[in-house]
């Protein structure tokens, strides 16, 4: 039997490309399992197979527990005092072993060994595949569909490598059959109860970027750069490109002769329509490009909220928004800006309302007449801080203002800001909230008092709120609440960055 064992080990090792140690361990586990089944009680067994001769020995073992710990399984556990009587060298946490009769490597043992070996071999193969692919995460992979189960697609990558395209990473309504060849984006190597699993995505924006890299030689040559992508998988996508060489048209290079290149990508993605957008370093121009095919008439940028108001002609409003908001949603994802689409009439009304709000604010805060307030608004001033602290040369360019008027306006703005700061400190002292909450974008003294009355008295407490909790407390909308919470949480990220820098500095100093 010892020779047969060695023959089995060598055969499986050569056939599966798995080390002999893995097979020996599987055999030992199988023999131990078969031995336990032959005895009554829940005993623990260890089998040791000689790697050279194939001979094996069997030992019954007991785990050694502290004397004050209760024994749950008397068949496999001993107290330390009793264990010391059997083995003077044993310690708590170790094992006491006694030789026992080995079972023959018969039919039952062989069947158990077969199951365990196959399991160990599969685990070893998966581990080898994971090690092979862990450095390829973020790359394109190509495989043949092996099977489809409940929306999950399993593909054969070759070399005993199998990958999974989960249902949520599959293109909706895409018809996939066994034997089809698919490309996907290797998203991660995920740890699973059955071993490492290769997770491939067909919906990731990175997939479309990698496909264009394959189809467009100019990208590989560094003449064209793809800067981002946004997708609604299987329906529509937008990618941003720029040329690194003035002689190369980035959009034309990606479209190809008679659209051959973009069509090849589209076919791979279940006929997903692809818009190719020219990237621009000017965010407003980039957004205008991303809104294609809609024509933008005007655009207002709010850098503080990272949003833009976009005006289009009434007849192009539906095209700008897209079916179900698809066009504006993709443009927003691609550019990273929140985009508000409106007609020219709506834009004018909003602009007039905002201008009137600013005019009234300047009239009230600076104690000036409507003419002066209107001039400030028309010149682009939108806050007291700008009036108080922009370089005097900016105000000096306004023809209607002389040096005395400019100096007076700046002094009044600074006085108001100082008074507001003092009032905020006084309110903080009397209302029980911490002044750090006033540093949050969009926070006012009145709102801080209201939150303090609800038990949210500092920035940390605000940062821990959920969006729906803040909307319920204040009545603000979800977007405003989310923006305020994210502003409060900025201190967390700053602390993490400081901690990381500190750790790096300590490590460098230690070296």
pLDDT for position 414: 84
CATH superfamily of 205-279: K homology (KH) domain (3.30.300.20)
pLDDT for position 23: 78
Name all contacts of 48-56 with Cβ < 8 Å and 24+ positions apart.
49/5, 49/24, 50/2, 51/20, 51/21, 51/24, 53/2, 54/1, 54/2, 54/3, 54/4, 54/5, 54/6, 55/2, 56/2, 56/5, 56/28, 56/31, 56/102
Between CA 97 and CA 62 the distance in angstroms is 7
pLDDT for position 475: 82
Run means of pLDDT, 10 residues per run, the chain, 511 residues: 70 73 80 82 87 85 89 88 86 89 68 68 75 86 91 87 91 91 91 78 94 92 93 93 92 93 93 93 92 85 85 84 89 92 82 85 86 85 82 80 83 81 63 74 78 83 88 84 88 63 54 49
Can you give the C-alpha Rg of the chain in angstroms?
Answer: 35
Contact assessment for residue 128 and residue 161, using Cβ atoms and an 8 Å cutoff = no
Residue range 14-34, pLDDT digits in tens? 776 677 887 788 778 878 888
Residue range 59-110, pLDDT digits in tens? 989 999 998 888 888 888 889 888 888 888 888 888 888 899 887 766 655 6
Query: Where are the chain's structural domains?
Result: 2-124, 137-203, 205-279, 356-493
Query: 2-124: which CATH architecture?
Result: 2-Layer Sandwich (3.30)
SS3 388: helix
Question: Token pair for residue 81?
Answer: 């005092």
> Which CATH fold would you assign to the domain 356-493?
DNA polymerase; domain 1 (1.10.150)
Q: What backbone torsions phi and psi does residue 110 show, to the nearest 5 degrees? A: -65, -40
Between CA 28 and CA 47 the distance in angstroms is 5
pLDDT for position 499: 56
CATH superfamily of 137-203: Nucleic acid-binding proteins (2.40.50.140)
Q: Where are the alpha helices (DSSP H) in 187-259?
A: 205-215, 217-220, 250-255
Between CA 318 and CA 341 the distance in angstroms is 10
Closest CA to 43 of 28, 55, 54, 58: 58
Between CA 392 and CA 411 the distance in angstroms is 12
């Amino acid at each position: 039997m010892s020779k047969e064992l060695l023959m089995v080990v060598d055969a499986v090792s050569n056939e599966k490309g798995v080390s002999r140690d893995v097979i020996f361990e599987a055999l030992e586990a199988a023999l131990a399992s078969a031995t336990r089944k032959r005895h009554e009680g829940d005993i623990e067994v260890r089998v040791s197979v000689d790697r050279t001769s194939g001979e094996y020995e069997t030992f019954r073992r007991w785990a050694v527990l502290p004397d004050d710990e209760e024994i749950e399984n008397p068949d496999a556990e001993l107290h330390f005092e009793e264990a010391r009587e059997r083995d003077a060298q044993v310690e708590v946490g170790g094992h006491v072993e006694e030789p026992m009769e080995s079972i023959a490597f018969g039919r039952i043992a062989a069947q158990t060994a077969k199951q365990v070996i196959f399991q160990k071999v599969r685990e070893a193969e998966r581990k080898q595949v994971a090690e092979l692919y862990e450095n390829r995460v973020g790359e394109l992979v190509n495989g043949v569909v092996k099977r489809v189960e409940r929306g999950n697609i399993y593909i054969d990558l070759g070399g005993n490598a199998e990958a999974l395209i989960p249902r949520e990473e599959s293109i909706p309504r895409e018809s996939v059959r066994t034997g089809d060849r698919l490309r996907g984006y290797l998203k991660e190597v995920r740890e699973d109860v059955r071993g490492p699993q290769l997770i491939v995505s067909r919906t990731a924006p990175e997939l479309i970027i990698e496909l264009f890299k394959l189809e467009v030689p100019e990208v590989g040559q560094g003449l064209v750069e793809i800067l981002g992508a946004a997708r609604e998988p299987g329906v529509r996508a937008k990618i941003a490109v720029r040329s690194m060489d003035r002689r190369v048209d980035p959009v034309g290079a990606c479209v190809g002769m008679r659209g051959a290149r973009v069509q090849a990508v589209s076919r791979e993605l279940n006929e997903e329509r692809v818009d190719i957008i020219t990237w621009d370093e000017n965010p407003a121009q980039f957004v205008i490009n991303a809104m294609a095919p809609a024509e933008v008439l005007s655009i207002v940028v709010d850098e503080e909220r990272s949003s833009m108001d976009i005006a289009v002609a009434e007849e192009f409003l539906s095209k700008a928004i897209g079916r179900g908001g698809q066009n504006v949603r993709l443009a927003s994802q691609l550019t990273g800006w929140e985009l508000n689409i409106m007609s020219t009439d709506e834009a004018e009304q909003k602009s007039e309302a905002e201008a009137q709000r600013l005019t009234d604010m300047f009239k009230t805060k600076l104690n000036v007449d409507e003419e002066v307030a209107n001039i400030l608004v028309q010149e682009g001033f939108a806050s007291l801080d700008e009036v108080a602290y922009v370089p005097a040369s900016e105000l000096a360019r306004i023809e209607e203002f002389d040096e005395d008027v400019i100096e007076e306006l700046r002094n009044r703005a600074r006085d108001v800001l100082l008074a507001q700061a003092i009032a905020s400190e006084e309110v903080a002292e009397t209302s029980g909230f911490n002044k750090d909450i006033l540093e949050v974008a969009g926070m006012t003294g009145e709102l801080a008092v209201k939150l303090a009355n609800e038990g949210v008295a500092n920035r940390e407490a605000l940062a821990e709120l959920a969006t729906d909790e803040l909307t319920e407390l204040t009545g603000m909308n979800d977007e405003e609440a989310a923006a305020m919470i994210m502003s409060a949480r900025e201190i967390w990220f700053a602390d993490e960055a400081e901690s990381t820098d500190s750790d790096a500095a300590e490590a460098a100093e230690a070296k």
